[in-house]
Amino acid sequence: MKNDKKLSELGEFGLISRIASGVSSSGSVITGIGDDAAVTVSTPGMQLVTSTDMLLEDVHFRRCWHDPYRLGRKSLAVSISDIAAMGAHPRWALLSLAIPADLPLTFLDDFTSGFLAMAAEHGVALIGGDTCSSRSGLAISVTIMGEQFPNYILRRSGAKPGDEIWTTGSLGDAALGLKLLEVDSDFPGSEGQVGCGDKVNQYLCSRLLDPSPRVLVGLALAESGLVSSMIDISDGILADFGHIAEQSGVGGCLRLDDLPFSPAFRLIGDKLPLFPYQLSLTGGEDYELCFTASPESRGEIAECTKKCGVEATPVGIVTSFPEISVVRSDGTSYGLQTKGFNHFT
Amino acid sequence: MKNDKKLSELGEFGLISRIASGVSSSGSVITGIGDDAAVTVSTPGMQLVTSTDMLLEDVHFRRCWHDPYRLGRKSLAVSISDIAAMGAHPRWALLSLAIPADLPLTFLDDFTSGFLAMAAEHGVALIGGDTCSSRSGLAISVTIMGEQFPNYILRRSGAKPGDEIWTTGSLGDAALGLKLLEVDSDFPGSEGQVGCGDKVNQYLCSRLLDPSPRVLVGLALAESGLVSSMIDISDGILADFGHIAEQSGVGGCLRLDDLPFSPAFRLIGDKLPLFPYQLSLTGGEDYELCFTASPESRGEIAECTKKCGVEATPVGIVTSFPEISVVRSDGTSYGLQTKGFNHFT
């Protein structure tokens, strides 16, 4: 697909054809890219589950950190993660790009390859989008549509006092990866060079730059019937469990010593002054799933997630008192500086 | 809803709640704004028809021209127009906003009011979206989902040689409205002041700033079974019929003297040096419908559109030779300077 053509030579419709040429066909897609709208067939009995995300250059990503292939993957992954959090099957995606004049066509080719690779991994068909010129940075908008039978769909609103709070995978890796990339001079271990040099750093950075949406485990948890509420962790477990708490009319208590860390996080995080809780509680972009379930289901839940190749850890308890606290193993309360990312504030 | 609060005080989740507070409930929406994804119920037997559009400040709109209420209306209208062009029922919308720090909260309130007013006019439910901060201008991304029974859905690909080419309404008004707003000093009649002063100017500018998607007539045409292909005119009839021609493997001949002009367009357009064909053939943002149908259906088509309160005019013939020509009434060919808007070129 690569050559030395410029976007200005290719034009808007040439670019759309170029993107469409990489899209594989799907039985559920009647009309894909190239008409006023896409036409798709839903699975009888399933409800439609839809989400959209916008990613802006220098707000959500930097071109100096995010190579185009992984940026393409991530642009879709963060949306797929929302479908995973509903316990639904991701199906169709739309991709809009506002493209600055200086963006090389090879960047767009690599971005598209990454996007379509992520789509293929999760059985998602790219069915449409929009392209236009941008006077500032690259802007990416992705809409994802999924499906699930009504009884299986998981929301933020079902948590009950006494339920356990769980998370899949490990927390804080992406936030620590970001710290490595920021090459903060105060940050031990980075020594003024761009991070991601060795394997440990590479793992942490890849958690930020190439997240894996937890689709299979989300589906398995939904279809197990054991889970009362679910959300994906994009702004830190504290903020995201906070959404569950708010919409369920409950509170929660997170146990500091039970938060799951990756070996890489422990290795690097040990050098952090605030090690390691701050990042794991409030760091963004983990794209793990946080969910709640009755303590009686602990064994079944662990088995269910293990079958999907994902560890899950109970990290707290849902309370009736509508506040969220974090406690150490000695029972004392852990104070926090921030509560996760919030645009505008 | 209005007060003197700033966006930075309100925060991301406050803004989302503020937008959500204006959304009315809909039977097809099981879970709306506020979860990881929205959950909707499709109409049994109907297929899903989905489109997305991005609107960028200083590319698609200017804050000095587009008041926020009409910008909100238009942001949704251009997407609804894509659903109308498929002959489908618009149902659900998602709205993403990247918001610059200097944008007053009253602007967002008025924008939202306009968006929701347009949604209400067409029975569309706002079910989700995304908000984030922008380092440059306001960026708006809208995804719209509609529905229709498979047999009624109209595509760009069904035009047959011998079919007549039709357009609803009048052409070129929006492009002339843009010229008025641009206050081109070479442009007779503008005299250095911002346009839209009198009623005639106001009409032309409102065609640009507050377009009406042709939903009812699109549905009526689709359900009549008389139409072979359809598209909405966003880039000028020449370019947009060009998409029909390309996807139908046909060509076409447009008759210059049959192009429909509004009285306002005639009045102002008479003062243009290129009057009036250039703008009506290649001017963007009319959001009329261009469609094709057998000449035998001429009477029925006219009656069908009239019932919807919309005039439609046959303006040409589909040809088997895959080129598009424009002819004057004396049979001579009309030369053209441009072929409608194309990003990047």
Q: What is the pLDDT of residues B112-154, one digit of tens each?
A: 999 999 999 999 999 999 999 999 899 999 999 999 999 999 9
Closest approach of chain B CAs to the CA of A3, in angstroms? 18
B6 or B41: which carries more pLDDT confidence? Answer: B41
Look up residue B200 and give its two tokens. 């005639």
- Give the tens place of pLDDT for each residue, A72-101: 999 999 999 999 999 999 999 999 999 998
In this predicted structure, what is the pLDDT of residue A273?
67
Q: What is the pTM of this model?
A: 0.93
Domain coordinates of chain A in residue numbers?
7-152, 164-327
Scanning A201-240 for CB atoms below 8 A from B yields: 230-232
> What is the count of residue pairs from A and B with beta carbons less than 8 Å apart?
231
Minimal CA–CA distance to A240: which of A202, A204, A285, A198?
A: A285
Residue B343 has a pLDDT of 65
User: Integer distance in angstroms from the first to the last C-alpha of chain A?
Assistant: 43
For residue range A24-52, list pLDDT tens digits in order: 888 999 999 999 999 999 999 999 999 99
Q: How far apart are the first and last CA of chain B?
A: 43
Q: Do B50 and A92 touch (CB under 8 A)?
A: yes
* Closest CA–CA distance from residue B256 to any residue of chain A (Å): 26
Q: What mean pLDDT is reported for chain B?
A: 91
Q: What is the pLDDT of residue B24?
A: 85
Range A178-206 average pLDDT: 67
CA torsion, ordered A112, A113, A116, A118, to nearest 10 deg: -110
pLDDT of residue B259: 95
- Give me the pLDDT at residue A278, please: 86
The whole-chain average pLDDT of chain A stands at: 91
Q: What is the pLDDT of residue B194?
A: 41
Q: Is the pLDDT of residue B208 over 70?
A: yes
For A229, nearest residue in chain B (alpha carbons): B35
Q: How far apart are CA B334 and CA B277, in angstroms?
A: 9
**Residue B270: per-residue pLDDT:** 77
pLDDT for residue A189 is more than 80: no
Residue B12 is nearest to which of A36, A56, A343, comparing CB atoms?
Answer: A343
The alpha-carbon gap from B331 to the nearest alpha carbon of chain A, in Å, equals 31
Check CB contact of B284 with chain A, cutoff 8 Å: no
Beta bridge partners of A125: A92
Would you say residue B205 has pLDDT above 50? yes
Q: What is the pLDDT of residue A4?
A: 59
CA distance B315 to chain A (A): 21
Fold of B7-152: 60s Ribosomal Protein L30; Chain: A; (3.30.1330)
Residue A252 has pLDDT above 50, yes or no: yes
pLDDT of residue A197: 55
Q: Is A29 on the interface with B (CB under 8 A)?
A: no
Residues of B in contact with A85 (CB under 8 A): 36-37
Q: CATH topology of B7-152 equal to that of B164-327?
A: no
pLDDT on residue A315? 98
Tokens linked to A335 = 């104070």
A332-342 pLDDT, tens digit per residue, is 998 765 555 56
CA A322 to chain centre: 27
For A123-180, write each residue's pLDDT tens digit: 999 999 999 999 989 999 999 999 999 999 999 999 999 999 999 999 999 999 998 8
Flag whether residue B127 sits within 8 Å of chain A, measured between CB atoms.
Answer: yes
DSSP B283: -
- pLDDT for residue A13 is more than 90: no
- What pLDDT, in 10s, does the model give residues B254-298? 999 999 999 999 988 777 766 678 889 999 999 999 999 999 999
Q: Which helix (H) or strand (E) holds B202?
A: helix B199-209
> A164-327 in CATH: which number?
3.90.650.10
**What is the DSSP secondary structure assignment for residue B262, as one 8-state letter?**
-
Q: Flag if B37 and A345 touch (Cβ within 8 Å).
A: no
Evaluate whether A177 touches A204 at the Cβ level (below 8 Å).
yes
Full DSSP string of A151-170? GG---TT---TTPEEEEES-
> How open is the CA angle A261-A281-A311, to the nearest 5 degrees?
35
Name which of A32-36, A230-234, B327-331 the model is least confident about. B327-331
pLDDT tens digits for range A290-333: 999 999 999 999 999 999 999 999 999 999 999 999 999 898 99
Rg of the Cα trace of chain B?
21
Residue A271 confidence (pLDDT): 77
- Token output for B98: 């990247």
At A270 the pLDDT is: 77
Other CB atoms closer than 10 Å to residue A51's CB: what's the count?
29
**ipTM of predicted assembly, 2 dp:** 0.92
Q: Half-sphere exposure of residue B99, counting CA atoms within 13 Å on the CB side?
A: 26
pLDDT more than 70, % of chain B:
91
- Look up residue A237 and give its two tokens: 């477990």
Q: For the ranges A60-64, B197-201, B334-338, which has the lowest average pLDDT?
A: B334-338
Cα B153 from chain centre: 18
Lowest mean pLDDT among A39-43, B13-17, B53-57, B214-218: B13-17
pLDDT, tens only, A1-11: 445 577 888 88
Chain B CA closest to residue A137: B136
